[in-house]
Chain A
Amino acid sequence: MAGLTQKDEVLTRYAEKLSTLKAPKGRSLTDDAIRRMLANKAAMVSLFVLAAIVLFAFVGPYFVPWGYSEVDWASIRKPPDFEAGHFFGTDHNGRDLLARTMFGTQMSLIVALVATTVSVVIGIAYGAIAGYFGGRVDAVMMRIVDMLYALPYILFVIILVVIFGRNPILLFVGIGAIEWLTMARIVRGQTLTLKEKEFVEAARAGGAKPWTIIFRHIVPNLTGPVVIYATLTIPEIIIVESFLSYLGLGIQEPQTSLGTLISTGAPVAEVTPWMLIYPGIILVSLLFCLTYVGDGLRDALDPKDR
């Protein structure tokens, strides 16, 4: 009968106690994951290399004498020539390959980032809603996903290009619009599992509304699989972008991306190998590092620790 609402005086005492309380911050799951990640040498080295590549792409251009679309009429299809300032050589139009590689890497990274963000945001929202509400809502939502999956994405992108014209933004949105499907499926699967967990039931017993449960309880516990999947699909996105650009659907001259550079360089590799090698090295390093980082994240976030 005493209960908690005896007198406000009691509560004031506790409020005071609270303000003088020295309550140390606990060790969250994220802290644990970061600790494990830091201990993973392969992943840390990869992160370091990734950071180096990002610097290369975004800060590098300020240190290079040539711009990415500047033509040097004196050096067309020339191998690396340090005196002329062409450290990676020039391409068939006389443009500096180093600058172009840096720019291309920028584009590839931006595409990857934007597309991933789009797919994560849409995928989480869509998947969590479908998974949590279940029943008919889930069935309808997932059938839509199935149908979209069945669409050949090239066709879809071509249609977009026809409607909106050639636009790099379109590329981002287009790829993101494809990638969210798998993210939604993964999130839905995870949600189905999480939905059955006792702490979700406890939230319901505490009177929480479905939207509160989804965003306060389910989504924060999705970060593991989402982060891992996102990291591991970035390589895929870069390759898709390269393919689309190669088909002429994405990034167009004079802009470039890693994929475009490689697709231009590959046919002439015997004659002008530097046009393939340098962008190739960057792309392969990027993909390797992302894979290792993804692996490292998976190990770090794997909840089967205890």
Chain B
Amino acid sequence: MNQTPANLLEIRDLKKTFSIATGLFSRQLTLTALADINFNVRQGETLGIVGESGCGKSTLGRCILQLISPDEGQVLWLGQDLTRVPAEEMRKRRADLQIIFQDPLASLNPRMTVGEIIEDPLRTLRPEMNKTERRARVVRIMESVGLLPEMINRYPHEFSGGQAQRIGIARALITEPKLIVCDEPVSALDVSIQAQILNLLAELKDEFGLTLIFISHNLSVVRHVSDRILVLYLGRIVELATGDEIYEDPKHPYTTALLTAVPIPDPKLARQRNIDALKGEIPSPINPPSGCTFRTRCRHAQPQCAETRPPLETLENGRLVACIRWREIEAEKAALAEA
């Protein structure tokens, strides 16, 4: 097949910092939330973004949608740089780029009915529609996400977490977007409801031809939904590969550590595992280690890892790795396996 799907979204050299004032004398500290972010999102795929506290995944999601303005870099949507687009123009683009939030109840205005919440984006972005047209679409969408249309006049607090999340999904879908950023959409839900929502997202993706960016700290969930996975650590890309590649052949030591740490719902496998838990804690993003930020916890760290920041290397198939020693580590593993 000579047709790789087009790149819907291209992120180039994205950087975002926050200033933090501390103490009485207000020393300005800079927190680097994201740096050197370079990747593409292909039409029709689900790109998973995974990482732990301080990795910047939520910030990245919001930078893509311009809900936060990045300090540097480009966000190319269908070739157009959203960071340079004037506010009014960006507003119109929002019909194509939507978001689903983590906390279902907090993301719904408690004083609006479900119908009003779902039709809100239509009111703003499709002013040519009249009320009946809007409401008809609301009913249609409610059925698609598994909500009874009879609930259209109810208020958010009358719903459970899972149902509230469906309302959020309906709101994100109503403008027929091309891309939806899902920011930890199931993390606040019970396990059985999580599974329902994950299935729903998969169905809706097929039905509406969506491209999804799925952000989560839960690697099992990300692996389940994603075609490709982007791994972040302290605001930088560590690895980008397909789900299978990540699981079967991780190249970055952090990815390996994450995989080892993920709990597996299978007692026999869990026992066989060599849980060599990662030592130490995630460093503060205000004062990250020099060179490779992961080196303080990496068992393969060498002196040169403190000197140079590892560049993001592109491998075949669009795979990315940011580690200067990954080939050596792979060779060591292979040698051990043969021994």
User: Which A residues fall within an 8 A CB radius of B?
Assistant: 1-5, 10-12, 14-15, 17-18, 21-30, 197-199, 201-209, 212, 217, 220-221, 303, 306
Q: Are A207 and B136 in contact (CB under 8 A)?
A: no
B227 contacts the other chain (CB 8 A):
no
Q: Whose C-beta in chain B lies nearest to the C-beta of A22?
A: B150
- In the bound assembly, the distance between CA atoms of A44 and B91 in angstroms comes to 48
Q: Which of B115, B124, B175 has the most CB of A within 10 A?
A: B124
Q: Whose C-beta in chain A lies nearest to the C-beta of B140?
A: A14
Q: Are B120 and A203 in contact (CB under 8 A)?
A: yes
CB < 8 Å: which of B91, B103, B114 contacts A198?
Answer: B103
Q: Which residues of B contact A27 (CB under 8 A)?
A: 154-155, 158
Q: Which residues of B contact A303 (CB under 8 A)?
A: 110
Q: Are B109 and A217 in contact (CB under 8 A)?
A: yes
B137 contacts the other chain (CB 8 A):
yes
Q: Which of A10, A14, A22, A220 has the most CB of B within 10 A?
A: A14
CB < 8 Å: which of A23, A198, A212 contacts B152?
Answer: A23
Q: Are B139 and A3 in contact (CB under 8 A)?
A: no
Q: Which residues of A contact B101 (CB under 8 A)?
A: 198, 201-202
CB < 8 Å: which of B115, B121, B151 contacts A206?
Answer: B121
CB < 8 Å: which of B103, B149, B155 contacts A23?
Answer: B149
Q: Are B153 and A24 in contact (CB under 8 A)?
A: yes
Q: Are B176 and A4 in contact (CB under 8 A)?
A: yes
B209 contacts the other chain (CB 8 A):
yes
Q: Are A205 and B67 in contact (CB under 8 A)?
A: yes
Q: Which residues of A contact B114 (CB under 8 A)?
A: 26
Q: Whose C-beta in chain B lies nearest to the C-beta of A217?
A: B109
B247 contacts the other chain (CB 8 A):
no
**3 cross-chain pairs, A with B, having the tightest CB-CB distances, nearest first:** A26-B154, A206-B121, A198-B107
Known contacts A21-B150, A27-B155, A207 near B94 by CB under 8 Å: yes
- In the assembled complex, the CB of A5 is this many whole angstroms from the nearest CB of chain B, namely 7
CB < 8 Å: which of A2, A10, A12, A197 contacts B106?
Answer: A197
Q: Which residues of A contact B154 (CB under 8 A)?
A: 24, 26-27
Q: Are B94 and A205 in contact (CB under 8 A)?
A: yes
Known contacts A206-B94, A221-B110, A29 near B137 by CB under 8 Å: no
Known contacts A21-B152, A205-B94, A206-B94, A26 near B67 by CB under 8 Å: no
- In the assembled complex, the CB of B169 is this many whole angstroms from the nearest CB of chain A, namely 12
- In the assembled complex, the CB of A88 is this many whole angstroms from the nearest CB of chain B, namely 46
Q: Which residues of B contact A217 (CB under 8 A)?
A: 109
Q: Are A14 and B207 in contact (CB under 8 A)?
A: no
- Could you show 14 A-B contacts with beta carbons less than 8 Å apart? A2-B207, A4-B174, A14-B137, A15-B133, A23-B115, A24-B153, A26-B154, A27-B158, A199-B107, A206-B98, A207-B91, A207-B92, A207-B95, A306-B157
Known contacts A5-B176, A206-B124, A207-B94, A198 near B106 by CB under 8 Å: yes
B18 contacts the other chain (CB 8 A):
no
B57 contacts the other chain (CB 8 A):
no
- What is the size, in residues, of chain B's interface with A at 8 Å between Cβ atoms? 50
- In the bound assembly, the distance between CA atoms of A25 and B151 in angstroms comes to 8
Q: Are A206 and B111 in contact (CB under 8 A)?
A: no
Q: Are B132 and A15 in contact (CB under 8 A)?
A: yes
Q: Which residues of B contact A201 (CB under 8 A)?
A: 67, 101, 107
Q: Are A207 and B125 in contact (CB under 8 A)?
A: yes
Q: Whose C-beta in chain A lies nearest to the C-beta of B151?
A: A23
Q: Whose C-beta in chain B lies nearest to the C-beta of A14?
A: B136
- In the assembled complex, the CB of A31 is this many whole angstroms from the nearest CB of chain B, namely 9
B65 contacts the other chain (CB 8 A):
yes
Q: Which residues of A contact B174 (CB under 8 A)?
A: 4
- In the bound assembly, the distance between CA atoms of A23 and B114 in angstroms comes to 11
- In the assembled complex, the CB of A27 is this many whole angstroms from the nearest CB of chain B, namely 6
- In the bound assembly, the distance between CA atoms of A217 and B94 in angstroms comes to 18
- In the assembled complex, the CB of A50 is this many whole angstroms from the nearest CB of chain B, namely 27
Q: Which of B105-128 contact A (CB under 8 A)?
A: 106-115, 120-121, 124-125
B141 contacts the other chain (CB 8 A):
yes
Known contacts A15-B133, A17-B139, A206-B94, A28 near B155 by CB under 8 Å: yes
Q: Are B135 and A208 in contact (CB under 8 A)?
A: no
Q: Which residues of A contact B153 (CB under 8 A)?
A: 23-26
> Per-residue 0/1 for B138-175: is the Cβ within 8 Å of any A Cβ (1 yes, 0 no)?
01110000000111111101100000000010010011
- In the bound assembly, the distance between CA atoms of A15 and B114 in angstroms comes to 17
- In the assembled complex, the CB of A295 is this many whole angstroms from the nearest CB of chain B, namely 23
Q: Which residues of B contact A220 (CB under 8 A)?
A: 109, 111-112
CB < 8 Å: which of A3, A24, A28 contacts B176?
Answer: A3
Q: Whose C-beta in chain B lies nearest to the C-beta of A208?
A: B124
- In the assembled complex, the CB of B100 is this many whole angstroms from the nearest CB of chain A, namely 9
Given contacts A1-B209, A21-B152, A29-B155, 8 further A-B contacts (CB under 8 A): A15-B132, A25-B153, A199-B107, A199-B110, A202-B101, A206-B120, A206-B121, A206-B171
Q: Which residues of B contact A10 (CB under 8 A)?
A: 140
Q: Which residues of A contact B120 (CB under 8 A)?
A: 203, 206, 208
- In the bound assembly, the distance between CA atoms of A5 and B149 in angstroms comes to 19
B99 contacts the other chain (CB 8 A):
yes
Q: Which residues of A contact B168 (CB under 8 A)?
A: 202
CB < 8 Å: which of B99, B108, B137, B139 contacts A205?
Answer: B99
Q: Whose C-beta in chain B lies nearest to the C-beta of A2?
A: B207
- In the assembled complex, the CB of A129 is this many whole angstroms from the nearest CB of chain B, namely 18
- In the bound assembly, the distance between CA atoms of A11 and B67 in angstroms comes to 32
Q: Are B124 and A26 in contact (CB under 8 A)?
A: no
Q: Which residues of B contact A199 (CB under 8 A)?
A: 106-110
Q: Are A207 and B124 in contact (CB under 8 A)?
A: yes
